[in-house]
Amino acid sequence: MADLTFDTLRQANITRQQEWPGYEQTDTTFKALEVCGEAGELAEAVKKLVRVERGIAGTTVNLEAVADELADVVISVDLLAEHLGITDEAA
């Protein structure tokens, strides 16, 4: 993780995205909705983590699950940025 840079993340995302079925059909709207969806999943995971912290009954998660959703948000944001031609120099 310490060696991860925006450039290596971008390259990994581009490669992985091209392996997804329907990749060529994704556009700005799709990618923006993907960011929103992943942000919602992160919010849900954080809510469940707060349940643990406060002793509230219901479905709970651990910090690793929150970290996974956080990574999904970062990846989806980078894919949207890549689609729009935004580089780390431009951001």
Q: Are 82 and 13 in contact (CB under 8 A)?
A: yes
Which x/- pattern, by CB under 5 A, does the window 69-88 give for Mg ion? x--x----------------
User: Taking CB under 5 A as the criterion, which residues in 36-75 touch Mg ion?
Assistant: 38, 41, 69, 72
Q: Are 9 and 73 in contact (CB under 8 A)?
A: no
Shortest spacing between CB 51 and Mg ion, in angstroms: 19
Shortest spacing between CB 38 and Mg ion, in angstroms: 5
How far are the Cα atoms of 20, 24, 30, 91 from residue 81, in angstroms, in the given order?
18, 16, 13, 9
Residues that bind Mg ion (CB under 5 A): 38, 41, 69, 72
